[in-house]
């Protein structure tokens, strides 16, 4: 009886898959703040050339450099596990599989892109990277990757997570990075927010503004910015997850999943797992592909598809995406990595083109799901990942009610061993759902920039 399918490192995918090559309606371009189409060179103050090329590429397969593979091979291919005990607990005829990305050094899928981003920066002569982090997973992943290539790394960490997850900061320090809470007094963007609201819990949008500003400030050109989600090149790097999962499902004798589930913040672990299967869906396969977001930050289920800034201060290009408005301030729920106002343009386009079925779930149901998963399978998942687990339970229960065997594949994007404060508050009953009112949503959407075509 097979429980886990591990592949030898000789089976590591050698190329990433680019959905931009196959998505039925071509991706809309990013825009400059004046509404003109962004020229790739306008990104060169932030990113090295190879990443800018990947950002705009419509080539289907892109080679993974040997130097990157050598580092990824320390923990990849990651296991694909059949959640038999979870199936028993749910008394479901569904066969549930999870792709376990929590086995990386930083504890999540984030190093899959941190390593190539640090590598391409090193090749281009960058000596320092700046970035933001929500829950701390991305900040620790980039700190780890920077250490591999001898780069300095400065991380702006969303204040609410910084206070709740002090050990994430220690991880970053251990890998040689510096980590400051955002909003911070170190940047104009941070100071402006602090003047208006000294106790601001921060948001990913604000932290991105600070990290971008810190990179642009260095006129030597040796400081670059790195983003852990949202952009096309990040989605690309994460596809190694789904490419491995396809081979591993075959080892279990499964042809193709019926349902794929992953949580979405900016969209990268979801994209990584699902994009290789979206290709199959475009080619005719019948797969229900479900991105799951928090009910308190519902960009895909309640936001608008529009051009919007990627950050709060409006320093980034305008991206075509599902958004709640770049001024949106999500409630400080425990899934810090899902508190982002927008969604990756590629994920947004796939949803807009009818390839996805987005869902949103409140945090109490998510923690309850995570506890059931921990008690049956053993792994204590990150609060972000708990959104995927909660949706899997809904799907497994539906399969039971319909007496239908089906194959559910879900992304276990990270462990929650440094997120136990959230679990503690769940057990003491101190956790609440924080629904988003129509008024809050309308006032945030009113901040959408009035440039670019209506979508
Ligand atoms: C464990 C985990 N899962 C999911 C996410 C959400 O990001 P993304 O949608 O880019 O996968 C994060 C972000 O910090 C995370 O730490």
pLDDT (tens digit, 9 = 90+) per residue, 280-325? 999 999 999 999 999 999 999 999 999 999 988 888 899 999 999 9
- Ligand 1 centroid–CA 410 distance in Å is 14
Q: Is 273 found in the same domain as 219?
A: no
- Ligand 1 centroid–CA 88 distance in Å is 28
Identify whether 153 is part of a domain.
yes
Q: Could you please report the per-residue DSSP string of 235-290?
A: HHHHTHHHHHHHHHHHHTT----SEEEEE-SSSHHHHHHHHHHHHHHHTT---EEE
**Which pLDDT score, from 0 to 100, does residue 315 have?**
85
389-428: per-residue pLDDT in tens? 999 999 999 999 999 999 999 999 999 999 999 999 999 9
Q: Which of 140, 143, 161, 384 to mutate to test the pocket of ligand 1 (most atoms within 8 A of CB)?
A: 384
Q: Measured between alpha carbons, how far is 131 from 136 in angstroms, rounded to an integer?
A: 11
Q: Is 205 found in the same domain as 102?
A: no
Q: Is 418 found in the same domain as 289?
A: yes
Q: Is 143 found in the same domain as 184?
A: yes
Q: Is 166 found in the same domain as 55?
A: yes
CATH of the domain at 114: 3.40.50.1100
376-393: per-residue pLDDT in tens? 999 999 999 999 999 999
Phi, psi of 262, rounded to the nearest 5 degrees: -155, 155
Q: Measured between alpha carbons, how far is 371 from 388 in angstroms, rounded to an integer?
A: 13
In the chain, the number of structural domains is 2
Q: Is 406 found in the same domain as 327?
A: yes
**Which pLDDT score, from 0 to 100, does residue 434 have?**
85
DSSP annotation of 402 reads T
CB 59 within 8 A of CB 18: yes
Q: How far is CA 113 from the centre of its chain?
A: 11
Q: Is 115 found in the same domain as 95?
A: no
Q: Which amino acids bring their CB within 6 angstroms of ligand 1?
A: 108, 134-135, 137-138, 229, 263-270, 337-338, 382, 384-385, 413-414
Mean pLDDT over 6-30 rounds to 95
Q: Which of 236, 268, 322 to mutate to test the pocket of ligand 1 (most atoms within 8 A of CB)?
A: 268
- Ligand 1 centroid–CA 448 distance in Å is 25
Q: Is 344 found in the same domain as 242?
A: yes
- Ligand 1 centroid–CA 337 distance in Å is 5
- Ligand 1 centroid–CA 51 distance in Å is 21
160-205: per-residue pLDDT in tens? 889 988 999 999 999 999 999 999 999 999 999 999 999 998 988 8
Q: Could you please report the per-residue DSSP string of 150-186?
A: T-EEEEEEEHHHHHH-HHHHHHHHHTT-EEEEES-TT
Q: Is 386 found in the same domain as 253?
A: yes
Q: Is 268 found in the same domain as 141?
A: no
- Ligand 1 centroid–CA 384 distance in Å is 6
Mean pLDDT over 354-362 rounds to 97
Identify whether 6 is part of a domain.
no
- Categorize the per-residue pLDDT at 360 as very low, low, confident or very high, splitting at 50, 70 and 90: very high
- From residue 149, give the alpha-carbon distance in Å to each of 119, 127, 132, 229: 7, 9, 19, 21
Domain that holds residue 45: 26-60+110-225
CB 78 within 8 A of CB 241: yes
């Amino acid at each position: 009886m097979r429980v886990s399918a591990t592949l030898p490192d000789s089976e590591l995918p050698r190329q990433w898959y680019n959905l931009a090559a196959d998505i039925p309606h071509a991706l809309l371009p990013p825009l400059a703040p004046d509404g003109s189409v962004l020229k790739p060179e306008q990104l060169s103050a932030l990113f090295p050339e190879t990443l800018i090329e990947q950002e705009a590429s419509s080539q289907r397969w892109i080679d993974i450099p040997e130097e990157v593979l050598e580092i990824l091979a320390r923990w990849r291919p990651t296991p694909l596990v059949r959640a038999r005990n979870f199936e028993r607990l749910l008394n479901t005829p569904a066969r549930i599989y999870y792709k376990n990305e929590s086995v990386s050094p930083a504890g999540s899928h984030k190093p899959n892109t941190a390593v190539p981003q640090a590598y391409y920066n090193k090749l281009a002569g960058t000596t320092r990277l700046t970035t933001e982090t929500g829950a701390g997973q991305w900040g620790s992943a980039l700190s780890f990757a920077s250490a591999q290539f001898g780069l300095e790394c400065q991380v702006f960490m969303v204040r609410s997570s910084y206070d709740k997850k002090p050990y994430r900061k220690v991880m970053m320090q251990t890998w040689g990075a510096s980590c400051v809470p955002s909003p911070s007094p170190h940047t104009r963007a941070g100071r402006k927010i602090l003047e208006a609201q000294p106790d601001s819990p921060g948001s990913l949008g604000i932290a991105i503004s600070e990290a971008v500003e810190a990179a642009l400030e260095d006129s030597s050109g040796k400081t670059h910015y790195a983003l852990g989600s949202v952009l096309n090149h990040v989605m690309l790097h994460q596809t190694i997850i789904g490419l491995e999962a396809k081979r591993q499902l075959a080892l279990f004798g499964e042809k193709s999943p019926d349902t794929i589930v992953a949580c979405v913040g900016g969209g990268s672990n979801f994209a990584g797992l699902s994009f290789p299967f979206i290709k199959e869906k475009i080619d005719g396969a019948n797969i229900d592909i479900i991105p799951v977001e928090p009910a308190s930050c519902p960009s895909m289920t309640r936001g608008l598809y529009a051009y919007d800034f990627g950050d709060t201060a409006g320093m980034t290009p305008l991206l075509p995406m599902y958004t709640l408005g770049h001024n949106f301030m999500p409630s400080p729920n425990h899934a810090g990595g899902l508190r982002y106002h927008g969604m990756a343009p590629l994920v947004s386009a796939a949803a807009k083109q009818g390839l996805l079925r987005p869902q949103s779930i409140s945090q109490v149901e998510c923690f309850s799901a995570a506890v059931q998963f921990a008690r049956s399978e053993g792994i204590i998942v990150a609060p972000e990942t708990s959104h995927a687990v909660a949706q899997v339970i809904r799907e497994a229960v539906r399969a039971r009610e319909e007496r239908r065997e089906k194959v559910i594949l879900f992304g276990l994007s990270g462990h929650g061993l440094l997120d136990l404060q959230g679990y503690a508050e769940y057990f003491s009953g101190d956790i609440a759902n924080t629904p988003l009112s129509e008024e809050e949503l309308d006032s945030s959407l009113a901040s959408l920039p009035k440039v670019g075509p209506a979508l």
